[in-house]
Amino acid sequence: MKKIFLALAFICAGFISQAQTSQEEVKEWLSILSSDEMKGRKSGTYQMLQAAQYIASHYEAAGLKMIPGQDNYFQPVSFSNRQGEKIIDRNVVGLLEGSDPALKDEYILVTAHFDHIGISRAVNGDSINNGADDNASGVVAMLTMMHNFKKQGIQPKRSIIFVAFTGEEMGLQGSKYYANNPVYPLEKTNVNLNFEMVAHSEKLGKRKFYLTGDTYSDLATVIRSSLNGTDWELIDDPFREMQLFYRSDNASFVSMKIEGDMKYGIPAHTLCTWGTESHYHRPNDQVDIVDFENMTSFVNMISKVSLDIANRPAQIKWTSDEFSRYAGK
Ligand SMILES: [Zn+2]
């Protein structure tokens, strides 16, 4: 009897680990996106095309739907950089269709920017800003989610839109473009979960993360209830004075101009583990300083949390008047 129980426990443990993404996979994906060959993933470069194609290959392997009417995942994006030069690049957009007849036309928008700042002045002989934490790590969180759902045969009740944005480092350009040219209707998009810099644990400590703008909607409360039974803790935003809420792509969805009018805004937040570690926008933001143990746990945990959000009967709602005045108009 004991032997049978042990055998069963072994099989179950094997099933669970198989259904999660391994540390080796996380390391491989992150290493490719932040390799020296990517030259710091600056928007408009050839290397960004390579990065976009790499991300798209994951979308395809995970069975995501391509952009309606296209045979690829690329949303062309063009904008002017701060020098006034025209930049032509692309967002990478894929859809995991929902399963619930009543909820599948509602969307959860899961995002991470995949660009970085390119080559800069050398520090200790290294001039390539690899952007392992900023923001290959956020992209890997997204990739993990789609692969975990595929492996586990999970179809969430609501549909999940995955978007890797270009141009964040040039002023949230890819997300602004998507907000003005949404592939799926924003009126039906309930919440934006944006991932930024989730590769480190030195300052926050292991198994801790935060949500920018955490007091503005009920998302933090919903996440905390989803974390019951895990070893993760959503801490209060420790850097309120830095206003990180406005400094990443989630801000493009907080209040949106549609046809010239300020019309619509959805609860939109960034999930992060950056504790002001000094690798930010420096060439040493590279693979060899990543905490892969903590990061692998994070990206697997966040798959479950996102699924709970996609499956819960109620939508995420603003709790702050400052933002709710735009919602639903
Ligand atoms: Zn970033």
Per-residue pLDDT of 74-114, as tens digits, reads 999 999 998 999 999 999 999 999 999 999 999 999 999 99
**Domain of 244, in residue numbers:** 2-327
Domain count, the chain: 1
Average pLDDT over residues 245-266: 78
CB-CB contact of 270 with 197 (8 Å): no
Helix spans in 87-191 (H)? 138-152, 173-180
Give me 131's structure tokens: 């952007």
Distance 180 CA to ligand 1 centre (A): 21
Calculate how far, in angstroms, residue 272's C-alpha sits from the geometric centre of ligand 1: 10
Distance, CA of 322 to CA of 148 (rounded, Å)? 36
How far is the centre of ligand 1, averaged over its atoms, from the C-alpha of 197 (Å)?
Answer: 7
CA of 307 to the centre of ligand 1 (A): 24
Distance 319 CA to ligand 1 centre (A): 26
Distance 113 CA to ligand 1 centre (A): 7
The 10s digit of each residue's pLDDT in 117-136 is 999 999 899 999 999 999 99
Distances (CA, A) of 46 to 32, 42, 50, 103, 178: 15, 9, 7, 39, 21
Query: How far apart are the CA of 298 and the centre of ligand 1, in A?
Result: 17
Cα 326 to ligand 1 centroid, rounded to whole Å: 26
In the reported structure, the alpha carbon of residue 329 is separated from the centroid of ligand 1 by a whole-number distance in angstroms of 30
What is the rounded average pLDDT of the residues 315-319?
93
251-268 burial by CB neighbour count: b if 16+ within 10 A, else e?
bbbbbbeeeeeeebbbbb
Indicate the pLDDT class of residue 3, thresholds 50, 70 and 90: low
Please report the pLDDT score of residue 265 as a whole number: 84
Distance 249 CA to ligand 1 centre (A): 9
Confidence (pLDDT) at 264:
66
pTM of the entire structure?
Answer: 0.92
Q: 177 alpha carbon to ligand 1 midpoint, in Å?
A: 17
pLDDT band at 256 (very low <50, low <70, confident <90, very high): low
What local confidence, expressed as pLDDT, does residue 68 receive? 98
Centre of ligand 1 from the C-alpha of residue 195, in Å: 9
Question: What is the whole-number distance in angstroms between the Cα of residue 117 and the centre of ligand 1?
Answer: 9
Higher pLDDT, 323 or 202: 202
Cα–ligand 1 centroid distance for 102 (angstroms):
35
Q: How far is the CA of 281 from the centre of ligand 1 (A)?
A: 9
Ligand 1 centroid to Cα of residue 196, in Å, is: 6
Inform me whether the pLDDT recorded for 10 exceeds 70. Answer: no
Q: Is the pLDDT of residue 209 over 70?
A: yes
Structure confidence at residue 137 as a pLDDT band (50, 70, 90) = very high
How high is the pLDDT of residue 259? 55
- Report d(CA 318, CA 212) in Å as an integer: 13
| Per-residue pLDDT, 260 | 59
Q: Distance, CA 134 to ligand 1 centroid (Å)?
A: 5
User: Residue 102: helix, strand or coil by DSSP?
Assistant: coil
Distance 193 CA to ligand 1 centre (A): 14
CA 100 to centroid of ligand 1, rounded, Å:
34
- Output the domain CATH number for residue 279: 3.40.630.10
